[in-house]
Amino acid sequence: HQCFFLSFIWLTLLFVNAEVLHMECHDHYFLIAVDLSFTGNELHFEAVDETGVYPITTQYVAECGYSVRVLPSPDRVELRASYFGCHTDNKDDVVFTFNFNLVATHEGQEVTYALSKTCSPSLPWSPREVTCERNYMEVSIGGLQIAYEAYEMSYSSATSDWQVMIHRNGEQLMPMSLSEARMQGYVFDLTKGRLVFRTSYGQPDSFSTEVNGVPVEVIHATLFSRQSWVVLMVDLVAACPMNEGSYDNNGYMMWEIPEVLHPLVSGVHELQINLGANGELVEQPVAEERGYIVEKHDNMVQISIPYNAEGGTRKSFVSDGLFEYYMFDLYLEKLSVDEDHLETRLRCHRTLATPLLPRPLFTEDRTVLEEHTFTVYLGDVPDDVELMAVHLKGQEFPVPFTNDSSLTIAEVFHVNNTHGYTLKVPFDDPLVTRQFSKEDAMMQYKVDINYTLTVLPENEPFYHLETVMVLVDVSPPDFDAVCSESGISFRLDYRPYDYLWEITIGSDPLTPELAAQHGYIMSNNSQSLLLEVPLFTQGYEYKDITLKGFFGTFQILVRDHETSTVQSSTVMTCPFTTNEFVMCSTDGRMTVVADLSLAIPNGGVRARTNLIDKYCGPKETDNTRALFSFPLKSCGSTLGNEYVTYENEIFFSTKLGALKNPADSIERVTMQCTYRLAGLHRLFSEHRFESDTEGFGRIVHSTHATGGR
């Protein structure tokens, strides 16, 4: 039941989908074509007439006027059946009906479809028609008084009275009856108005000759009948060129035939030559437009067809790379007349083919640097070739790609029956090889692509390799910096190649540990780096220190990872106004701005201000504050022991006049600079103070204490 159902569907398909089954009427034959992609390869035909069913499968089919073949691209089976075929119903040489079975095998079961096609040729038959099919020669004559008489006579007498005599190269063989001839593969038929003779090529009694170097096969039969005192004789000759076509390596498939194949076949006056494809002639202007060329010289007719002419087929082929070949089913018609103005129409079918021609694909690097992505176009892919996978760094990516990979592929189709693929691979993908060239300060990105393509429908794979490479100008990163009241903020938005450099503060690489140790606030992820550097943390440089304010400068260095040479730096200087602070410089200087009003209750007026050494006075004072800046070891500073703490004090009186004894002073402010002992290089040198780091500063008010750093 299922089988019946499937067959029913299939049959319906055949008729509904005109793509599957074609039945066409041509000028001397039926064309039945079946698309194998729908039916499978197990397919054959049977001719049907009132006498029985005749499989069109064996050599016998040639002498009966059938020609079957399988064609590629798309895969199909084609049956050409002569209108004068053995099992065709012929009504007055005008209406021909071909009844046939299409036998297909579905899952081991044969299914037979009875089909029928009726055709009437659009042209009247010429007095003589010679057809050179792929597998047989056919000649029919008619339009002659003699044929008519023959017909009449055959009516009044038994056909068995007819005898046939074959001529082999001038030699006459023994006459035989038509049925004897039939057993030897010579088919004669007497229709209403025509005499038909057909045989396959290579019969023992045919003869081969050469005309202008072209092999020609000739079959010559004389049909005769004796009716009392009348003897009727008809000469039936078919001559067909047997040469293959050739390829001229300049894009033309060529075929040539002699103008006169045999004196008894071709008339002496040639009228015209028409060309066509696939058994269908085209008008002269169409032939010209398609580039078909007919040239005559030295009694030869030379035909040139562009390899890719319309009407041909092409097929891809893998053989250590991609190749292709073209096939063209040439159909040629040659009209000529003899002295008696009787027309002969010669029809030849010849399949021309190119050799295997290389079919290069092309790859184009369409990368736009700014997109930071490789864009590679693979083009000129023929329509019977498909991209199956892409291999990058030994990893296989079947097409279409899953969307979890960063690669993308897009297919584009062109009107010229080619298509192409655009592959995109981001520069930063691990599949891309990166290499930094120091000399050029360029980053090289490279990707090796191995495309796997296959030719359909055989699924024969081949590979296409391409390497694309770019050099990207890489500059060291540059931070954005912003001043704030309490420090400086630096920001870096990472570029993909910023990992190439090392970021340092002075000579120390910036790490989370360093930041913690120095009191920087750092946040870092794959997108950006943010560094906030509070004022008075390590790394600042100060200048123009006055009571009104000062400038603080902080610098971030970008170094080469290997050589540590500085490639760039970001320096930011910001103005700061801080009420009170102590700076303990690495070169042994204490700079302090102290708010003295904190030590003077009720806003008394200061008269005089100095350090322990009363001769060390402030650099600047105003109503409330004083600025001192002095070498640590001077102005009476005292030295601690565990850490090295230099301490000094600001004394000031609230009355006019110099103080006799600073210790008696009511008002004092104490400042300290504390250095790590280990970081000090010349503690006892008289000439120079040098510390690795700045000291830690403190201001102690006698009444209030405020810490500074």
Applying CB under 6 A, the residues found at the interface with ligand NAG are: 379-380, 391, 403, 414, 416, 418, 450, 452, 463, 465, 503, 510-512, 524-526, 529
In whole angstroms, give the CA distance from residue 548 to residue 576: 9
Whole-angstrom CA distances from 242 to 46, 210, 239, 522, 611 are: 29, 10, 9, 89, 125
Cβ proximity to ligand NAG: between 120 and 395 the closer is 395
In whole angstroms, give the CA distance from residue 375 to residue 355: 35
Cβ proximity to ligand NAG: between 267 and 382 the closer is 382
Cβ proximity to ligand NAG: between 314 and 701 the closer is 314
Strand partners for 82: 29
Cβ proximity to ligand NAG: between 193 and 477 the closer is 477
Cβ proximity to ligand NAG: between 272 and 405 the closer is 405
Structure tokens at 291: 């580039």
> Which residue stretches of 247-351 are H helix?
284-289
Q: How far is the CB of 565 from ligand NAG (least distance, A)?
A: 19
In whole angstroms, give the CA distance from residue 539 to residue 504: 11
Q: How far is the CB of 325 from ligand NAG (least distance, A)?
A: 15
Cβ proximity to ligand NAG: between 469 and 547 the closer is 469
Cβ proximity to ligand NAG: between 211 and 529 the closer is 529
Cβ proximity to ligand NAG: between 501 and 542 the closer is 501
In whole angstroms, give the CA distance from residue 653 to residue 609: 7
Q: How far is the CB of 12 from ligand NAG (least distance, A)?
A: 34
In whole angstroms, give the CA distance from residue 571 to residue 4: 88
Q: How far is the CB of 393 from ligand NAG (least distance, A)?
A: 10
Q: How far is the CB of 524 from ligand NAG (least distance, A)?
A: 4
- Could you write out the DSSP letters of every residue in 358-374? E---EEEE--BGGGTEE
Non-local (6+) Cβ contacts of 12 within 8 A are: none
Q: How far is the CB of 373 from ligand NAG (least distance, A)?
A: 17
Strand-strand pairing, 501-505 and 508-509: antiparallel
Strand partners for 464: 451
**Which three-class secondary structure state does DSSP give residue 183?**
helix
Q: How far is the CB of 522 from ligand NAG (least distance, A)?
A: 7
- Could you write out the DSSP letters of every residue in 424-476? EEETTSTTSEEEEETTTTEEEEEEEEEEEEEETTTTEEEEEEEEEEEEEE---
Non-local (6+) Cβ contacts of 705 within 8 A are: 699
Cβ proximity to ligand NAG: between 258 and 477 the closer is 477
Q: How far is the CB of 481 from ligand NAG (least distance, A)?
A: 16
Q: How far is the CB of 371 from ligand NAG (least distance, A)?
A: 19
Cβ proximity to ligand NAG: between 308 and 670 the closer is 308
Strand partners for 387: 453
3-state DSSP helix/strand/coil % of the chain, to nearest 5: 10, 55, 35
Whole-angstrom CA distances from 704 to 582, 655, 665, 707 are: 16, 21, 17, 10
Strand partners for 703: none
Cβ proximity to ligand NAG: between 19 and 396 the closer is 396
Q: How far is the CB of 376 from ligand NAG (least distance, A)?
A: 15
Q: How far is the CB of 285 from ligand NAG (least distance, A)?
A: 25
Cβ proximity to ligand NAG: between 154 and 524 the closer is 524
Q: How far is the CB of 452 from ligand NAG (least distance, A)?
A: 6
Structure tokens at 59: 């050599």
Cβ pair 359, 325 in contact under 8 A:
no
Cβ proximity to ligand NAG: between 187 and 557 the closer is 557
- Per DSSP, 597 falls in state G
In whole angstroms, give the CA distance from residue 293 to residue 645: 108
Q: How far is the CB of 464 from ligand NAG (least distance, A)?
A: 9
Cβ pair 374, 432 in contact under 8 A:
yes
Long-range contacts of 538-541 (CB under 8 A, 24+ apart): 538/505, 538/693, 538/694, 539/505, 539/506
Element (H, E) at 36: helix 36-39
In whole angstroms, give the CA distance from residue 520 to residue 488: 10
Cβ proximity to ligand NAG: between 53 and 521 the closer is 521
Strand-strand pairing, 313-318 and 608-610: unpaired
Q: Where are the beta strands (DSSP E) in 40-192?
A: 43-49, 52-55, 66-71, 76-82, 89-91, 95-106, 109-119, 128-132, 136-142, 163-168, 171-172, 176-177, 187-190
Q: How far is the CB of 362 from ligand NAG (least distance, A)?
A: 8
Q: How far is the CB of 366 from ligand NAG (least distance, A)?
A: 12
Cβ proximity to ligand NAG: between 338 and 380 the closer is 380
Q: How far is the CB of 424 from ligand NAG (least distance, A)?
A: 14
Torsion angles phi and psi, residue 660, rounded to 5: -80, -45
Q: Where are the beta strands (DSSP E) in 383-432?
A: 385-392, 395-398, 408-413, 418-426
Cβ proximity to ligand NAG: between 525 and 641 the closer is 525
Cβ proximity to ligand NAG: between 531 and 590 the closer is 531
Non-local (6+) Cβ contacts of 686 within 8 A are: none
- Closest to 572 in 3D by CA, of 485, 504, 481: 481
Q: How far is the CB of 509 from ligand NAG (least distance, A)?
A: 8
Residue type, 568: S
- Closest to 570 in 3D by CA, of 580, 557, 561: 557
